[in-house]
């Protein structure tokens, strides 16, 4: 193999360690922050370009759980809205949305994984919201034997949620301080690593729904993450 081909092969192998696909989320910029809401038809969310979670953890399509995710950004925050069709909810008894709920991932939940460190992809942040408005955020470091201990970290993010039982859809929204994930100021063209997940139903027949399938029994496979690129500011 000549030098040029070796270089190309090395680049391809190296890039596969960071990104599994070319899929990219591009949040649309908003000129000001807004009160967090869960209405897809609201003026704020109408301006977002949706992406869809529609595969299980192994990459098999699960169309009846196809989950719409809308994203926006401001100079201070990242926003996510999940639109989650469900068959049967698994909800934690006696929810307390005012306090962080450790091990929230044991019930129905929507999750965002975000990382800004392209040199150490095993270090990133995790954000979760439940249909009942419970929440948890984690500073994940996969170099540690118990990365779930990162739940004691506090990002200052906010959530809102509601359940439409007639339509069998629940909605979850997040507002995440950009400074909680990146040392750079929020700016057009900034690129982050990202993946989106959802758990649906009780443990006996739980369905996992993903944006970029981890091809594993765990969501924590950072080499399978996609990209999030902050879109241009409107003139």
Q: What is the mean pLDDT of the chain?
A: 90
- Pairing of β 169-177 and β 158-164: antiparallel
- Whether pLDDT at 233 is above 50: yes
- Whether pLDDT at 230 is above 70: yes
Q: Highest mean pLDDT range out of 12-21, 121-130, 149-158? A: 121-130
Q: What is the model's pLDDT at position 218?
A: 93
Q: What is the model's pLDDT at position 15?
A: 37
Residue 136 CA to residue 184 CA, distance in Å, equals 24
Q: What is the model's pLDDT at position 150?
A: 78
The average pLDDT across 29-39 equals 96
Range from 32-36, 83-87, 148-152, 166-170 carrying the lowest mean pLDDT: 148-152
Q: What is the model's pLDDT at position 105?
A: 95
- Whether pLDDT at 225 is above 70: yes
Residue 179 CA to residue 166 CA, distance in Å, equals 38
- Whether pLDDT at 22 is above 80: no
- Whether pLDDT at 6 is above 70: no
pTM more than 0.75: yes
The average pLDDT across 179-194 equals 97
Q: Do the Cβ atoms of 82 and 129 come closer than 8 Å?
A: yes
Q: Do the Cβ atoms of 81 and 70 come closer than 8 Å?
A: yes
Residue 94 CA to residue 103 CA, distance in Å, equals 14
Residue 124 CA to residue 116 CA, distance in Å, equals 7
Q: What is the model's pLDDT at position 10?
A: 34
The average pLDDT across 17-28 equals 67
Range from 8-17, 20-29, 76-85, 142-151 carrying the lowest mean pLDDT: 8-17
* Closest alpha carbon to 84 in 101, 62, 99, 59: 62
Q: What is the model's pLDDT at position 169?
A: 98
138-186 pLDDT per residue, tens: 999 999 887 777 788 999 999 999 999 999 999 999 999 999 999 999 9
């Amino acid at each position: 193999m000549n030098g040029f081909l070796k270089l190309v092969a090395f680049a391809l192998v190296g890039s596969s360690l960071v990104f599994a696909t070319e899929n990219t989320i591009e949040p649309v910029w908003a000129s000001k922050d807004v009160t967090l809401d869960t209405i897809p038809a609201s003026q704020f969310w109408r301006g977002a370009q949706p992406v869809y979670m529609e595969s299980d953890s192994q990459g098999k399509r699960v169309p009846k759980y196809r989950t719409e995710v809308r994203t926006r950004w401001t100079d201070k925050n990242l926003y996510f809205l999940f639109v989650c069709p469900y068959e049967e909810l698994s909800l934690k008894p006696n929810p307390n949305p005012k306090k962080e709920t450790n091990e929230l991932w044991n019930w129905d939940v929507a999750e965002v994984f975000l990382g800004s460190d392209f040199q150490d992809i095993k270090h990133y942040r995790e954000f979760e919201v439940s249909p009942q408005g419970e929440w948890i955020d984690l500073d994940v470091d996969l170099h540690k034997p118990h990365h779930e201990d990162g739940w004691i970290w506090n990002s200052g993010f906010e959530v809102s949620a509601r359940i439409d039982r007639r339509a069998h859809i629940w909605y979850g929204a997040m507002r995440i301080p950009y400074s909680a994930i990146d040392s750079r100021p929020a700016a057009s063209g900034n690129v982050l690593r990202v993946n989106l997940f959802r758990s649906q139903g009780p443990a006996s027949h739980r369905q996992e729904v993903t944006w970029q399938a981890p091809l594993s029994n765990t969501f924590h496979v950072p080499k399978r993450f996609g990209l999030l690129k902050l879109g241009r500011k409107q003139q």
